[in-house]
Amino acid sequence: MLIKDFFYQIKEDLKRIKKYPDFVAGKNLNVDYDKYWNKRRGNDTSLNLSTWQKERADYILKMIEKGSVVMDIGSGNGSLLKYLKDKASVDGFGIDVSDDAIAIAEKNGIKVLKKNITDLDSLKDLPEVDYIFGLEILEHLPNPEELIFSLRNKAKKGFIFSFPNTGYYEHRLRLLCGRFPLQWITHPGEHLRFWTASDVVWWVKAIGFDLEKMVIYQGVPVLNKIFPKLFGRGILIKINLIFVK
């Protein structure tokens, strides 16, 4: 099974080297978050985690204490919050701007507040929690540092972020073929910031915080354990909010 998964992943990665998603510019040229959300989830209204999400969630469980109170920015339908609650009695709430995602969360008893995280003033009334999550969200912001510094006093213990690993070999091969790394789904303007594993180490220190833990996950089986920076597809980090500067 491991060998089969290995060759399947290689095959799928190589297929994307020259591929672009379907994109037709209509009257509204802006990024449509609801369209992005529905494209990712389709008609699935369940709170089941994908293999990718479950692996990431299990790593998060190792980073936080049982019974922690958390805030999940860009929480979508709240599937992560439900998983953490079921596994470790984690309490908390989500933040999202998609009406479709919030409706699914509320239907399943998950508390999600509707807020636009680019409006930093609207976040001032949020309560303090132990940890703030931002999973696959920072890459969508032109200045994620502003968000982090706006919320640093809301997190008692730290931040946990995840984003695609732009150092993944598929993205490197696309550059060699004259194409930019493909990390968007419905609109080429979805991702505005990019990180490799080495970038993360520099970046966290540059903004004055301590990188307590970094995990590189998914990607090509076996090789992602031997050469994670090259063959791991996702990056998950835990940031300690103690200033190091």
**What was the pLDDT predicted at 213?**
97
Residue 173 has pLDDT above 60, yes or no: yes
Tell me the pLDDT of the chain averaged across its residues. Answer: 90
Domain ranges, residue 214? 2-19+49-179+189-240
Domain assignment present for residue 227? The answer is yes
Residues 22-42 have a mean pLDDT of 67
Confidence of residue 29 (pLDDT cuts 50, 70, 90): confident
Q: Which of 88, 106, 104, 91 is nearest to 34 (CA)?
A: 104
Q: Are 165 and 233 in contact (CB under 8 A)?
A: yes
**What is the chain's percent helix, strand, coil content, to nearest 5?**
40, 20, 40
In a domain, 6, yes or no: yes
> Does pLDDT of 46 surpass 80?
no
Mean pLDDT across 129-133: 97
The answer to whether residue 163 is domain-embedded is yes
**Total domains, the chain:** 1
Span of 22-31, 60-69, 203-212 with lowest mean pLDDT: 22-31
Residue 173 lies in a domain: yes
Is the pLDDT at 132 greater than 70? The verdict is: yes
In this prediction, residue 188 carries a pLDDT of 83
| Amino acid 189: pLDDT | 83
Question: What's the gap between Cα 183 and its chain centre?
Answer: 12
As a whole number, mean pLDDT of residues 92-102 equals 92
What CATH number is given to the structural domain containing 56? 3.40.50.150
Buried b (16+ CB within 10 A) or exposed e, 146-181: ebbeebbeebebbbbbbbbbbbbbbbebbeeeeeeb
- Quick check: is 245 in a domain? no
- Residue 158 clears pLDDT 90, i.e. is over it: yes
What pTM does this model have? 0.91
Domain assignment of residue 110, yes or no = yes
Residue 66 lies in a domain: yes
Residue 26 above 70 pLDDT? no
* 38, pLDDT greater than 80: no
CA 170, 197, 32, 124: dihedral to nearest 10 degrees?
A: 170
Q: Is residue 102 part of a domain?
A: yes
pLDDT at 100 over 70: yes
Q: What is the mean pLDDT of residues 56-82?
A: 96
Q: How far is CA 109 from CA 81, 162, 172, in A?
A: 11, 25, 42
Q: Tokens 């636009």 sit at which residue?
A: 116
The predicted pLDDT at position 40 comes to 63
